[in-house]
Chain A
């Protein structure tokens, strides 16, 4: 399946993925679970949330910028 993702403040990217959960996707994208919170349509997702074809997922940085 194909999804769109971005880190807040960066551009959207597309990825073809076999990941079925947020946790698997973060691992695939090399994003630390400690450093990002996933959201979809303004709603916070947990690590075991399912992802589906066409999803648009934004990762919100946990780390402050300074």
Chain B
């Protein structure tokens, strides 16, 4: 039985990539001290912030909410609000929403729920059906990822937030990094930095990835040990349709055989993010006015293609100008998880 490298008590976790083991108490301390270092290193927060935490009811976002709620008790200038986007996926989001409600109530934090059905007129399940009927080439994750990002930004600002926290962890980030490379979508790599948003366009709220330097397994263990791990495990019915699922399996196999693989990828990513200048020049969507890298944002474009939003066609793009091209259709949205 492994013993804690600090106190000699029974261990709950051994970090193979650093050759140390931790008991429950020292794991929690070690985990939280690393989060504090990440927060300082990447300058996530100032002394006065309204922190909007994107929460899905999954273990990552509940762990993020728990930790920030705990930390906020030591920072008088912080206000925390949990924001949940309910896409309308029957048998999934209605279940994780129960865990969300249980934890926000336990922690006593303010919360806000945005329903896609109410915002868009259709639930995600209905969008997927309509998309099939109209012969559109999109997977469910495209609608979910694009619209979730849109409404997190929109409501993050509307609620008066100064920073939006997502619970993206090390695994999420390096999976997306590989997905971008496999798709030849190198221009999206700067979006994978620890902080994005406000520096790109005034219409974006600053976004930070709280678990940027923490493997998913450690976030899961933390959520178990502090009592926020979801009581019921349900899987999104669309999750296995995404190429991300294959990349996740591949990376986990690599990590098992070669511990430290994910951290090595993160180091490569950070070097690239520093050296790559974002070619994206956000503008305002001509339909809704929200920031967009193309004249019509992806959310409005999807609504138009679904036939639930009418808009005059735009003039053809000028030759050679990437910025004015209509959005190209891809088969999946990029990192869509908020936890």
Residues of A within 8 A of B (CB): 7-9, 32-35, 37, 39, 44, 46-50, 60-66
Contact = CB atoms under 8 A, between A and B. Distances in A.
B253 interface: yes
Nearest to A45: B12
A41 B9 CA distance: 19
B297 interface: no
Contact of A37 (B2, B217, B234, B337): B217
A46 B234 contact: no
A65 B96 contact: yes
Given A9-B234, A66-B236, A32 B2 contact: no
28 contacts: A7-B233, A32-B252, A32-B253, A33-B256, A34-B217, A34-B252, A35-B252, A37-B221, A44-B24, A46-B11, A46-B12, A48-B2, A49-B1, A50-B1, A61-B220, A62-B216, A63-B248, A64-B56, A65-B58, A65-B92, A65-B96, A65-B233, A65-B239, A66-B58, A66-B92, A66-B238, A66-B239, A66-B337
Contacts of B216: 62-64
Interface string B89-130: 000100010000000000000000000000000000000000
B220 A60 contact: yes
Nearest to B225: A44
Interface on chain A toward B: helix, strand, loop, or mixed SS?
loop
Contacts of A9: 232-234
B212 to A, nearest CB: 16
A56 to B, nearest CB: 17
A37 B12 CA distance: 10
Contacts of A65: 58, 92, 96, 233-236, 239
B60 interface: yes
B16 to A, nearest CB: 9
Contacts of A34: 217, 252, 255-256
Given A32-B252, A66-B235, A46 B96 contact: no
Nearest to A35: B252
Contacts of A66: 56, 58, 92, 96, 235-236, 238-239, 337
Contact of B12 (A7, A8, A44, A62): A44
Interface in B1-24: 1-2, 11-14, 21, 24
Interface in B197-252: 216-217, 220-221, 224-225, 229, 232-236, 238-239, 248-249, 252
Contacts of A32: 249, 252-253, 256
A39 B109 CA distance: 30
A64 B1 contact: no
Nearest to A48: B2
A61 B255 CA distance: 17
A62 to B, nearest CB: 4
Given A34-B256, A66-B235, A66-B239, A60 B229 contact: yes
Given A46-B1, A48-B14, A66-B239, 7 more contacts: A34-B217, A37-B224, A44-B13, A50-B1, A62-B216, A64-B339, A65-B92
B27 to A, nearest CB: 9
Contacts of B21: 46
A40 B21 CA distance: 19
Contacts of B1: 46, 48-50
A37 B239 CA distance: 21
A44 B21 CA distance: 13
B59 interface: yes
